[in-house]
Structure 1
Amino acid sequence: MEAVFPLCAAAAAVILAGIFLWSWNFSERMTSREQDLLGVDSRTLLVIAHPDDEAMFFAPTVLGLVRLRHQVSLLCFSAGNYYNQGEIRKKELLQSCGVLGIPPSSITIIDNRCFPDDPGVQWDTGHVASVLLLHIEANSINLVVTFDAWGVSGHVNHVALYAAARTLHLEGKLPEGCSVLTLQSVNVLRKYVSFLDLLVSLLHAQDVLFVLTREEVTQAKRAMSCHRSQLLWFRHLYVLFSRYMRINSLNFL
């Protein structure tokens, strides 16, 4: 009996390793599928609520779009001034975007008291939608990427962006040929199992799936490390264990 447990453990490890390698190779082959769905050289706008959202939640999407040669720009609806660190966080956002491949000329940060960084304040959907639409039209955007109805963490500022994008979509106000992709929220267990969520992600429905290579994971971590003001102990754990630092599943509205 003593010899049985090590044998079972070894067999389980081999099976898990095989499943992971199969999943990883399968995800690599999906790059052409994403290219067919999203095209190349498109003008894509990432819409976030706070500095660090781009690295903490959307790094796989940004790096995946850059891989597809999209022209990625960013619209951030607040300076992240909840703890009076707005000016610091603006600089950190620029540094992080530089690591991810978004140039400073393609970054817009809205610092307006109408859109405070505050989980207790509900942003006006109509106002957010009008600002977003102006930015889309002014920059001839083909694809908008933002949060879904849960906003990954349930933060009301994240959800407000989804509500605005959905309103523009449902009311037919988006320019012809402009689509909206939303980042799929997952349960807490899946959120913190890192790359082990890859197989589950492949088995669940989504329109687009971005999975980072080992080198790109390092790049995503470097982007997150630019947000030094936010790197409290629990965020170091987030960087280590969150699947959002490695995998993004997205759906079209």
Structure 2
Amino acid sequence: MAALEILAAAAAAAAIAAWAFLWVWDSSERIRNREQAGLRDDESRALLVIAHPDDEAMFFAPTVLGLGRGGHRLSLLCFSAGNYYNQGKIRKKELLQSCEVLGIPPSRVMIIDNRDFPDDPDVQWNTESVASVLLQYIQVNGISLVVTFDARGVSGHNNHIALYTAVRSLHSEGKLPKGCSVLTLQSVNVLRKYISFLDLPFSLSHTQDVLFVLTSEEVARAKRAMSCHHSQLLWFRRLYVLFSRYMRINSLHFL
């Protein structure tokens, strides 16, 4: 009897292991397909547009590393120095350090530091001003893919949303250069936001155009990038690094 119980337990364990292997294999294939969807030009010039230093690591690390993995030449345009607490000089240096960890050299990082775009959630950035600066950068640098926030800005920050509004305006008015695409980072509800890699089944089952999921080694790299932002690593952001799905998973939509 004991032998039969052992055999039954072994068979059940084998069945579970086989199911897990097939699920992981199927998931990896679906992730790979979604990474490649619409992103087949390995030599494209991609531009990540963010509002503050640390956005690139807190929200977009999977996209940055995923695009780099695919051979895309990525640049970064940051619309403020993050001077809300008068730490702008420090935060600019931290951003450059973080970008180097993520594979973006300083020569491809542009930080805008002027009064038109203050780091302030209570200030509405002028859509035309943001769009004008962005369009000029796109044209001068031959950008073929723009990546930024969606209409909810992940955290609801007005500066994040202002970037989406400007890009949306350029796209809808047909002002972007021919062949220039736009990807926006999907905002998710609070529960999904803080369940880390456990959000993967939800990300796979919900419709999106591109999905980036980091390996354990890449997660460690994303955390190193975030650790460059010493001035921002308060206790709640340390918890964010541990539990946020945005440190591991990015799902994006094409406009």
Percent identity, please. 77
Structure 1 residues 230 and 21: CA distance shift in structure 2, 3 A = farther
Task: Give the structure 1 partner of residue 3 of structure 2.
Answer: none
1:38-53 superposed matches below 5 A: 38-39=39-40, 40-53=42-55
Q: Which residue of 1 aligns with 2:181?
A: 179
Aligned position for 2:78:
76
Q: In structure 2, what is the Cα distance between the partners aligned to 1:120 and 1:246?
A: 29
Deviations 1:6-61 (A, max 9, x none): xxxxx9xx969956972475135532442352121110000000000000000000
1:118-137 equivalences in 2 (<5 Å):
118-137=120-139
One-letter amino acid of the counterpart of residue 113, structure 2: D
Cα distance in 1 for partners of 2:22, 2:92 equals: 39
Specify the alignment match of 2:252 in structure 1: 250
Tell me how far apart the structure 1 counterparts of residues 232 and 20 of structure 2 sit (CA, whole Å). Answer: 35
- Take 2:37 and 2:156, find their aligned partners in 1: how far apart are those partners? 31
Alignment pair present for 1:162 and 2:157 = no
Query: CA separation in 1, counterparts of 2:195 and 2:87?
Result: 31
* Residue pair 1:60, 1:247 contacting (<8 A) in 2 also: yes
Secondary structure of the residue that 1:172 maps to in structure 2?
A: coil
Query: AA paired with 1:123?
Result: W
Determine the structure 2 residue equivalent to 1:234.
236
- Of 64, 67, 70, which residue of structure 2 is paired with 1:65? 67
Instruction: Give the corresponding residue for 1:34.
Output: 35
Q: Aligned-pair distance for 1:97?
A: 0.2
SS of 2:154's equivalent in the other structure is: coil
Is the Cα–Cα contact under 8 Å of residues 148 and 164 in structure 2 kept in the other structure? Answer: yes
Give the deviation of 1:159 after TM superposition. 0.1
Secondary structure, aligned partner of 1:145: strand
Mapped to 1, the partners of 2:182 and 2:116 lie a distance apart of: 24
The structure with the largest alpha-carbon Rg is: 2
What amino acid is aligned across from residue 205 of structure 2 in structure 1?
A: L
> Which residue matches 2:93?
91
Name 1:146's counterpart in structure 2: 148
Q: How does 1:99-118 map to 2 (within 5 A)?
A: 99-118=101-120
Q: Flag the 1:92–1:29 CA change in 2: closer, same or farther, 3 A.
A: same
- What is the number of equivalent residue pairs in this alignment? 242
Moved over 6 A (4+): 14-17
- Per-residue deviation, 1:249: 0.2
- Structure 1 unaligned residues grouped into runs of 5+: 1-10
5+ residue gaps, structure 2: 1-11
Aligned-partner Cα distance in 2 for 1:28–1:67: 16
Contact 2:62 2:212 in 1 (8 A): yes
| Separation of aligned partners in 2, 1:61 and 1:68 | 10
CA distance, structure 1, for counterparts of residue 52 and residue 21 of structure 2: 33
C-alpha RMSD of matched pairs (Å): 2.0
Q: What SS is found at the alignment partner of 1:153?
A: helix
CA shift in 2, pair 1:194/1:24, >3 Å = farther
